[in-house]
Amino acid sequence: MVAAVMALAACGGPAEPPSGADASTCGRLQGVLDTFVAEGRAPGVAVTVGFADGSTWSGAAGVSDLESGAAMAPVDRFRIGSVTKTFTAALVMLLVEDGVLSLDDVVSRHLTGVPNGDLVTVRQLLQHTSGLADYLYDPAIVSTRSAPHTPAELLAVAQSLTPELAPGERYRYSNTNYVLLGLIVERVTGSTWAAEIRDRILDPTGLSDTFVYGWEEVPGGFVRGYAAAAGGGWDDVTLALHPTVAYAAGCMVSSTPDLVRWSQALHAGRVVSAASLETMKNESRVSEEYPSIRIGLGIFIESADEYGSFLGHAGGLDGFSTEVQLLDGAGHTVAGAFNATEDDDTMRLRTLMNNSWIAVLGL
């Protein structure tokens, strides 16, 4: 989410931001997508906007599959990477509401052998303040990342890693946190994390285009993902990371319309209780790397000055980049995705989201 507010502040905002879709706004949004592809930032891109008045706009540009040349469609699905964490966090909060889990539970109450397990809490896992090292970059995972892994295998790697920080010392993003949360969900429910996500989150919220990839079939599949090739062009890396390796930290598949519906439902209090939602937003720590951002429980929060705050999460893995943001002061939600890895150009996702917001707000 970094730098979105900077673009808005640089442009200056109207006293009353537009409340819904009109022809001018839709034309600006489509222009953002067309330009994004024309500049070679990705083979294809899709964006959906949910406006404050209840109207919705979805658009796409480029291709979903370079081999077939199939055009990207607004309803196409992407691997959403770490946006998965928002679903896991909401599920954990539901279990806290049920009384079967507490944010103050230490990890060792549910899982054995985790470093600092007697000190790290569920709250710290959600907030990335556990200090635990990231399993995803351990050689045992890196060398086998395209092959299936069980949650127990991921846990074994996490158990072998030396913590990088003391619990609660400060924020440091680690996928290990959400793998452990998925396993804790399984221990306290007696079910699988995937089944709980389906039964407690996806079906009740009506997210018909969102799937727990690796545990569920994805009818019709999803777009191909690409990385920039050394000699120019694109390499297909769609399956470079097996979904089971990402597990509760990043395995899910969705479309931008569904991600807008998800964000709207979550922040309207239709998924977790109002009290739980406030906890997710207010139990936050400042990111030392990006001081304008606070890290809540599965939610990133960035000030947008007179517009309120951006609330959401980004996701990136081989061949896919995704982000969803609610601008609470204006009441709009934007979800953007493209089928390319950012690599060294870390501004691709920022550019897409910034320019989408500029189009939405008429700046």
Residue 8: per-residue pLDDT: 45
- Sign, CA dihedral 11-12-18-20, equals positive
Identify whether the C-beta of residue 191 lies closer than 8 Å to the C-beta of residue 151. no
Predicted confidence at residue 289, as pLDDT, reads 75
334 bridge partner residues: 49, 325
Provide the 10 A C-beta neighbour count for residue 148: 11
* Residues 298-327: b if buried by 16+ CB within 10 A, e if exposed: bbbbbebeebebbbbbbbbbbbbbbbbbbb
pLDDT of residue 220: 95
Integer Cα distance of 231 and 214 in angstroms: 32
Per-residue pLDDT at 244 exceeds 80: yes
Q: What is the largest CA-CA distance in the chain?
A: 58
Lowest mean pLDDT among 9-18, 65-74, 202-211: 9-18
CB 84 within 8 A of CB 252: yes
pLDDT at 253: 98
Does the pLDDT of residue 15 top 90, yes or no? no
Task: Give the per-residue pLDDT at 46.
Answer: 98
The pTM score is 0.94
82 is catalytic: yes
Tokens describing residue 90 = 């909401």
pLDDT at 4 over 60: no
Q: What is the mean pLDDT of residues 228-247?
A: 95
End-to-end CA distance of the chain: 19
| 351, pLDDT greater than 50 | yes
Q: What DSSP string describes 37-58?
A: HHTTS-SEEEEEEE-TTS-EEE
Which pLDDT value is given to residue 308?
92
Average pLDDT over residues 75-100: 98
Average pLDDT, integer, range 318-334? 97
Residues forming beta bridges with residue 300, ordered by sequence position: 295, 312
Q: Is the pLDDT of residue 3 over 70?
A: no
Question: Tell me: the pLDDT tens digits for 290-315?
Answer: 778 999 999 999 988 888 999 999 99
CA distance 363 to 348: 20
Catalytic residue among 64, 82, 174, 254: 82
Q: Cα–Cα distance between 127 and 227 in angstroms, integer?
A: 30
pLDDT band at residue 12 under the 50/70/90 scheme: very low
Average per-residue pLDDT for the chain: 93
What value does the mean pLDDT take over residues 128-143? 97
Compute the distance between CA of residue 130 and CA of residue 81 in angstroms, rounded to an integer. Answer: 21
Domain boundaries, the chain: 4-13+42-81+208-235+247-361, 87-189
Cα–Cα nearest to 135, from 174, 168, 170 = 174
Summarised one tens digit per residue, pLDDT across range 269-291 is: 999 999 999 999 998 888 777 77
Residue 203: predicted pLDDT: 98
Q: What are phi and psi of 340, to 5 degrees?
A: -155, 150
* pLDDT tens for each residue of 112-122: 999 999 999 99
Identify the pLDDT of residue 344: 55
Say which range, 122-126, 134-138, 284-288, has the weakest mean pLDDT: 284-288
pLDDT digits (tens, 9 = 90+) for 16-43: 556 778 899 999 999 999 999 999 999 9
- 306 vs 149, residue with greater confidence: 149
pLDDT tens string 331-350? 999 999 999 997 655 589 99
Which CATH architecture describes the domain 4-13+42-81+208-235+247-361?
3-Layer(aba) Sandwich (3.40)
